[in-house]
């Protein structure tokens, strides 16, 4: 049975192909359109998935959409009616869009899907709809390596649910609890994202990265005024401090008065106050999640926990859940946000609607390392690079690793484009920019000269799975970069008395360990364990670097610049390489060095990035 899952029309549209319960392909629309968080109908992602499966839409048994639009409309309408006349401006903006498009989403989807069917028809009953949190829960449990698990979904909001719990067993998922709109841990975090001057639905990572520079001075204030937190982890938000339910902003004037002023202008400098606000909402989020998880472990006495929803991308909180030990094992969907709903709704239909059994593989999960996107044969890579005007040499595999290690040891930022593109927000060694973690200048170099983003943003270490516990306070798999743990004490550098007095962003340039480029200011790191089974070429590079240097760790950041999606094609990677100060690019077996490129092309691409 072939099922095509779709997520679309809010943010991070995506498509996924499931064959007999196995995830064959999955990709986000943004990677093809080059529009970050593209919410449009995922036409290009659909075409990729069909091509990857060698099938057209007539050969697909069912198409499954990740939520139920009419129930979402019901929630919207009830919210406005309950708060009238407050929120009229928001209501006036929202209604035309719903009446024009979203109320007729089924017919609009069928019309768009006909373009992929040679017959030009969508059979009655071919299009199915799952619920939003059902899709999230299914994306977390069904690909997990667990026969049984508690499944916790936390996000902004689905149709009505903002947090939900289901019990997964075999091929079943039974919903048991939920918290409903407008009380939302995801929207609480997004409110502070907005208030500290970052973009909602993308800037939450920045708030998490900024938090260690601050002190949680406002945490008690949040819990006293904004959040009524119960012992079981359930909570209630005082809506007088927020404006997201019926307004055009996330926070209200009452919120601004409580925290000492209006939201930060996105272009204004970050102050210690903003860092303290970030630290505070992070601490409150962790407290809510810990209470929830401890209560669930006690209530259901199941050893395994699965997480999904946008809040499950908070890798700092995830690490604390793991260390807390309420659950013996935790598995997190790598595309935990809405894009993962494309995988989840298809799996929900396969296992729940059609009652098909699961196939557990033992150790490995069902996401194949999340390497589910397009890949390119060497001949195609060379043809595309030549057409773009690139100068390159193609080398054998042993030389590839040695020459890449040469570049890393020389302090180069290395673009690494190999195999299938990752599904989800993290680059995992398929579309990555790599660096030497021992180089104390590498974090600054990557942020300011390659990524063109805020200097405080931390970078993640990729480490050979077999060495992870020699460098980090972690001894479990973390293949999807969704767990934060501390650097081992014997790897840390003692700080001087003067360094200990530093505050805020002044902490940034203090060398904290023998892998300073991946050690955050609180000695933590967001870890990716690299496995030979899922990414043999990246594992081989790390192994070569370890043989050369005695260090089995590399800096790994996504292959993109600020404001752009991760690269998808060889042309995307060449453009990023040429338009930044990246010195080396490795695509398949093709090696590119900046100094060998045509000077006029380097200048043209740099000007293109400046114009962007």
Whether residue 163 contacts residue 153, with contact meaning beta carbons closer than 8 Å, is answered with yes
Q: Is 164 domain-assigned?
A: no
Average pLDDT in the 391-404 region? 96
Q: How many domains does the chain have?
A: 3
CA distances from 427 to 148, 250, 438 (A): 29, 30, 20
Bridge-based pairing state of the strands 414-417 and 62-65? unpaired
Q: Is 151 domain-assigned?
A: no
- Do 414 and 506 share a domain, yes or no? yes
First vs last Cα of the chain: how many Å apart? 44
Q: pLDDT at residue 65 above 60? A: yes
What single DSSP character describes residue 154? Answer: E
- Do 348 and 442 share a domain, yes or no? no
User: pLDDT by residue (tens digit) across 493-505?
Assistant: 887 777 666 666 6
- Do 396 and 345 share a domain, yes or no? no
Residue 310: closest CA among 133, 83, 82: 133
Q: Identify the band that residue 221 occupies on the pLDDT scale cut at 50, 70 and 90.
A: very high
Average pLDDT in the 520-537 region? 94
What does the DSSP assignment read for 416-434?
Answer: EE-SSPBSSS---SSEEEE
Residue 1: closest CA among 497, 346, 429, 372: 346
Residue 584: closest CA among 599, 603, 597: 597
User: pLDDT by residue (tens digit) across 297-328?
Assistant: 999 999 999 999 999 999 999 999 999 999 99
Q: Is 600 domain-assigned?
A: yes
How many CB atoms are located within 10 Å of the residue 253 CB?
Answer: 12
Least confident of 265-279, 496-510, 562-576: 496-510
Q: pLDDT at residue 89 above 70? A: no
Q: How far apart are CA 483 and CA 476, in angstroms?
A: 10
Which three-class secondary structure state does DSSP give residue 143?
A: coil
Peptide bond into 85 cis (omega under 30): yes
Q: What pLDDT is stored for residue 502 in this prediction?
A: 67
- Do 296 and 355 share a domain, yes or no? no
Whether residue 523 contacts residue 513, with contact meaning beta carbons closer than 8 Å, is answered with yes
Q: How far apart are CA 292 and CA 286, in angstroms?
A: 10
Mean of per-residue pLDDT scores for the chain: 92
What single DSSP character describes residue 437? Answer: T
Q: Which residues of 584-602 are buried (b: 16+ CB within 10 A; e: fewer)?
A: bbbbbbbbbbbeebeeeee
Average pLDDT in the 16-32 region? 98
Whether residue 428 contacts residue 480, with contact meaning beta carbons closer than 8 Å, is answered with yes
Provide the β-strand partners of residue 168: 149, 173
Which three-class secondary structure state does DSSP give residue 227?
A: strand
Q: pLDDT at residue 349 above 90? A: yes
Is 118 buried (19+), middle (13-18) or exposed (0-12) by CB count in 10 A? exposed
Q: Identify the band that residue 31 occupies on the pLDDT scale cut at 50, 70 and 90.
A: very high
How many CB atoms are located within 10 Å of the residue 537 CB?
Answer: 18
- Do 498 and 483 share a domain, yes or no? yes
Q: Is 360 domain-assigned?
A: yes
Provide the β-strand partners of residue 64: 5, 128
Q: What pLDDT is stored for residue 605 in this prediction?
A: 83
- Do 113 and 220 share a domain, yes or no? no
- Do 389 and 481 share a domain, yes or no? yes
Place of tokens 């950041």: 557
Residue 439: closest CA among 462, 464, 406, 409: 409
> Which parts of 85-215 fold into alpha helices (H)?
88-100, 105-113, 132-141, 185-195, 204-210
Whether residue 139 contacts residue 335, with contact meaning beta carbons closer than 8 Å, is answered with yes
- Do 116 and 22 share a domain, yes or no? yes
Q: pLDDT at residue 18 above 70? A: yes
Q: pLDDT at residue 179 above 70? A: yes
Q: Identify the band that residue 143 occupies on the pLDDT scale cut at 50, 70 and 90.
A: very high
Whether residue 546 contacts residue 540, with contact meaning beta carbons closer than 8 Å, is answered with no
Place of tokens 């989807």: 109
- Do 110 and 224 share a domain, yes or no? no
Q: Identify the band that residue 78 occupies on the pLDDT scale cut at 50, 70 and 90.
A: low
Sequence-distant (6+) residues with CB within 8 A of 85 are none
Q: What pLDDT is stored for residue 230 in this prediction?
A: 96
Q: Percent of the chain beyond pLDDT 70?
A: 91
Continuous segment of H or E residues that includes residue 285: helix 272-300
Q: What is the 3-state secondary structure (H, E, C) of 11-38?
A: CCCEEEEEECCEEEEEEECHHHHCCCCC
Show the tokens assigned to 187. 């929207």
Sequence-distant (6+) residues with CB within 8 A of 450 are 413, 433, 561, 580, 581, 582
Residue 132: closest CA among 309, 360, 383: 309
Whether residue 490 contacts residue 464, with contact meaning beta carbons closer than 8 Å, is answered with no
Is 102 buried (19+), middle (13-18) or exposed (0-12) by CB count in 10 A? middle
Q: Is 457 domain-assigned?
A: yes
Average pLDDT in the 369-386 region? 98
CATH of the domain at 473: 3.90.870.20
Q: What pLDDT is stored for residue 580 in this prediction?
A: 93
Whether residue 173 contacts residue 138, with contact meaning beta carbons closer than 8 Å, is answered with yes
How many CB atoms are located within 10 Å of the residue 284 CB?
Answer: 25
User: pLDDT by residue (tens digit) across 444-489?
Assistant: 888 788 877 676 777 899 999 999 999 999 999 999 999 999 999 9
Average pLDDT in the 247-252 region? 89
CA gyration radius, the chain: 24
Residue 331: closest CA among 339, 341, 321: 321
Q: What pLDDT is stored for residue 96 in this prediction?
A: 65
What single DSSP character describes residue 448? Answer: I
- Do 348 and 323 share a domain, yes or no? no
Q: Is 172 domain-assigned?
A: no
Continuous segment of H or E residues that includes residue 254: helix 253-259
Q: Is 152 domain-assigned?
A: no
Q: What pLDDT is stored for residue 602 in this prediction?
A: 86
Q: What pLDDT is stored for residue 100 in this prediction?
A: 60
Q: What pLDDT is stored for residue 512 in this prediction?
A: 83
Q: Is 354 domain-assigned?
A: yes
What does the DSSP assignment read for 392-418?
Answer: -EE--HHHHHHHHHHHHHTT--EEEE-
Domain of residue 20, residue span: 2-143+338-366
Whether residue 45 contacts residue 13, with contact meaning beta carbons closer than 8 Å, is answered with yes
Max CA-CA distance within the chain?
74
Q: What pLDDT is stored for residue 245 in this prediction?
A: 82
Q: Identify the band that residue 364 occupies on the pLDDT scale cut at 50, 70 and 90.
A: confident
What does the DSSP assignment read for 561-605?
Answer: -TTSPPP-SHHHHHHHHHHSS--EEEETTEEEEGGGS-HHHHHHH
CATH of the domain at 234: 3.30.420.40
- Do 356 and 276 share a domain, yes or no? no
- Do 604 and 480 share a domain, yes or no? yes
């Amino acid at each position: 049975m072939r099922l095509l899952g779709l997520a679309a029309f809010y943010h991070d549209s995506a498509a996924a192909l499931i064959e007999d319960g196995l995830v064959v392909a999955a990709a986000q629309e943004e990677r093809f359109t080059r529009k970050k968080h593209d919410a449009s109908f995922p036409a290009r992602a659909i075409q990729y998935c069909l091509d990857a499966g060698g099938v057209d839409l007539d050969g697909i048994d069912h198409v499954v959409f990740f939520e139920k639009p009419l129930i979402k409309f019901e929630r919207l309408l009830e919210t406005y009616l309950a708060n009238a006349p407050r929120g009229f401006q928001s209501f006036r903006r929202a209604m035309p869009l719903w009446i024009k498009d979203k109320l007729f989403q089924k017919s609009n989807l069928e019309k768009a899907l006909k373009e992929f069917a040679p017959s030009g028809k969508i059979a009655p009953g071919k299009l199915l709809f799952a619920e939003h949190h059902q899709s999230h829960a299914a994306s977390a449990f069904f690909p997990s390596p667990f026969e049984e698990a508690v499944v916790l979904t936390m996000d902004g909001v689905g149709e009505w649910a903002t947090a939900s719990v289901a019990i997964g067993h075999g091929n079943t998922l039974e919903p048991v609890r939920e918290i409903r709109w407008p009380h939302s841990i995801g929207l609480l975090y997004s409110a502070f994202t907005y208030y500290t001057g970052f973009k909602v639905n993308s800037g939450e990572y920045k708030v998490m990265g900024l938090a260690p520079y601050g002190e949680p001075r406002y945490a008690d204030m949040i819990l006293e005024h904004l959040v009524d937190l119960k012992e079981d982890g359930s909570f209630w938000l005082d809506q007088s401090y927020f404006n997201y339910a019926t307004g055009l902003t996330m926070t209200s004037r009452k919120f601004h008065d409580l925290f000492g002023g209006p939201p930060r202008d996105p272009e204004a400098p970050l102050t210690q106050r903003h860092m303290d606000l970030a630290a505070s909402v992070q601490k409150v989020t962790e407290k809510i999640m810990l209470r929830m998880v401890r209560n669930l472990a006690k209530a259901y006495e199941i050893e395994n926990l699965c997480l999904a929803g946008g809040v499950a991308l908070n890798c700092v909180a995830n690490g604390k859940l793991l260390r807390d030990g309420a659950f013996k094992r935790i598995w997190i969907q790598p595309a935990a946000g809405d894009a993962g709903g494309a995988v989840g709704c298809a799996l929900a239909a396969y296992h729940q609607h059609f009652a098909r059994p699961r196939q557990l593989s033992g150790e490995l999960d069902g996401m194949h390392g999340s390497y589910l996107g397009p890949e390119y044969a060497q001949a195609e890579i060379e043809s595309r690079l030549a057409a773009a005007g690139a100068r390159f040499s193609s080398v054998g595999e042993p030389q590839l690793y040695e020459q890449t290690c040469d570049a890393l040891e020389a302090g180069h930022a290395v673009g690494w484009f190999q195999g299938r593109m990752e599904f989800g927000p993290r680059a995992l060694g398929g579309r990555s920019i790599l660096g030497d973690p021992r180089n104390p200048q590498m974090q600054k170099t990557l942020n300011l000269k390659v990524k063109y983003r805020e200097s405080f943003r931390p970078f993640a270490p990729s480490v050979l799975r077999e060495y992870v516990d020699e460098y980090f306070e972690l001894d479990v798999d973390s293949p999807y970069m969704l767990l934060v743990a501390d650097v081992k004490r014997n790897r840390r550098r003692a700080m001087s008395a003067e360094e200990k007095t530093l505050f805020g962003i002044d902490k940034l340039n203090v060398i904290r360990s023998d892998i300073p480029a991946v050690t955050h200011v609180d000695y933590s790191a967001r870890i990716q364990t690299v496995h030979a089974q899922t990414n043999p070429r990246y594992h081989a590079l790390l192994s070569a670097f370890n043989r050369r240097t005695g260090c089995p760790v590399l800096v790994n950041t996504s292959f993109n610049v600020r404001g752009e999606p991760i690269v998808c094609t060889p042309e995307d990677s060449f453009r990023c390489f040429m338009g930044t100060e990246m010195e080396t690019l490795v695509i398949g077996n093709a090696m590119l060095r900046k100094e060998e490129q045509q000077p006029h092309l380097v200048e043209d691409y740099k000007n293109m990035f400046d114009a962007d």
